[in-house]
Structure 1
């Protein structure tokens, strides 16, 4: 990526995370530029990362190999329509805006190489995961550029069908909130069992971190790890049976179905 010129349209939190990840990987500041309407944010990003910032989107994309659309979904249509005349035919467009389908981006920008991404908020810590879908105009080299771009803040996984973006949204895009909810519930339950709230919270968070690391670094899947720590007639089994008796797996499926359906609804609304 050190020879790739990258322009960000919008310099909010996710864009700033990507910029920071690229810089940490050795991409020079001279290869990155961004546009941002907020003057204070422009000054902050320029000071933090040493890149050139613009108030004007057209100025930012001039000469770029990759243009990253990092604006809010609600303003994407207007931004794209204003930007279309200033883009070069070979530029790769990478959209990290939730809920905007490729068909809409192509309608607003014209037919051009386009990668649609669904990152998640742990990207702010460079521990994210993103689902990526490329349209037919994207070359093998451009797929590699997009993968390296999103890989700067975590894991990047390619999807064969765009419709699977809704499933990615349900699993990983919204996923951090599910774990936060479970942490809230575990902390509250520990407190009701008599633990001081701070102790219950620290026990919960460190357990979540340790379990996640075990799952990521193990050579077996989560189901096997669960079985290994669930002794017959023990305390863990008592808890697991209670979860399952309450329909835990079915409830998780219903929750993700609801998230995926809402993702599809938003794409329909925002892509008009």
Structure 2
């Protein structure tokens, strides 16, 4: 299988590294298309397969094409690729908000898989949801799932609308977590810790809490109840969070992200 990754940004490079590291593709069968000569020159030094600056000579020989460009660049991308696009090729898009129908119409193809990875994919701890058009075969879907699993974990969803929901939860989610972490880091510094001490305290606390939740059957609320002794420090913090609607604000933020994802899909 020959794979072409279009876009030499962070996610494009993440997939290239992950595929090579997992030996799912040989270096000579992995191609990257980056139109910027400067970026292409930099990519060529990273040993991420064969680097191209034009679709000529790479698009027509690829079995799977990964679209890893910004959503706002999709229209121009489709116009440049359509003349050489082959209906038998599989297109995997990680462009937020760009629907499968938009890709099919823009490229004149039928086999489209839409996926939403997140930032931790860069370190092999990503969470990706994906769905596919009816023309994609079961074998092709399994191949793509194996590809996505090289960056962490992947789940298949039946409805494309669920990809927008994934964008709001796991796609944007790392920013929510980091936002909460930043607040705790600043709180620790206000209490007298220096910056490095505060970051270590908070980072290890988050890491431990996540591992604890993932390796046991208790729900998040059950763990909160275990930590919150009656009349204790944790209970005091949780009462403040409830009084200031932190819980509902987080849900409202996720809902706003979902609405924006839907707007991007309609524009």
TM-score, normalised relative to structure 2: 0.94
Q: How many residues align?
A: 266
Q: Any stretches of 5+ residues in structure 2 without a counterpart? A: none
Match of 1:122 among 120, 123, 143: 120
Structure 2 CA distance for aligned equivalents of residues 132 and 211 of structure 1: 27
Match of 2:235 among 231, 234, 237: 237
Tell me which stretches of 4 or more aligned residues in structure 1 moved more than 3 Å.
none
1:18 and 2:15 correspond: yes
Alignment-derived partner of residue 62 in structure 2: 64
> Are the equivalent residues in 1 in contact too, given 2:67–2:93 (CA < 8 A)?
yes
> 2:165 aligns to what SS in structure 1?
helix
Deviation at 1:167, TM superposition (A): 0.9
Alignment-derived partner of residue 201 in structure 1: 199
Q: Using CA pairs below 8 Å that are at least 6 residues apart, which structure has the higher relative contact order?
A: 1
Deviation at 1:44, TM superposition (A): 3.0
Higher mean Cα deviation, 39-48 or 61-70? 39-48
Structure 1 CA distance for aligned equivalents of residues 204 and 133 of structure 2: 41
Structure 1 CA distance for aligned equivalents of residues 220 and 74 of structure 2: 39
RMSD over aligned Cα atoms: 1.5
Structure 1 CA distance for aligned equivalents of residues 242 and 156 of structure 2: 33
Structure 1 CA distance for aligned equivalents of residues 215 and 63 of structure 2: 36
| Structure 2 counterparts to residues 32-181 of structure 1, below 5 A | 32-181=30-179
> Are the equivalent residues in 2 in contact too, given 1:8–1:60 (CA < 8 A)?
no
TM-score, normalised relative to structure 1: 0.92
Deviations 1:196-230 (A, max 9, x none): 23322221111112222222333333222222222
Structure 2 CA distance for aligned equivalents of residues 106 and 193 of structure 1: 55
Q: Any stretches of 5+ residues in structure 1 without a counterpart? A: none
> Are the equivalent residues in 1 in contact too, given 2:185–2:199 (CA < 8 A)?
yes
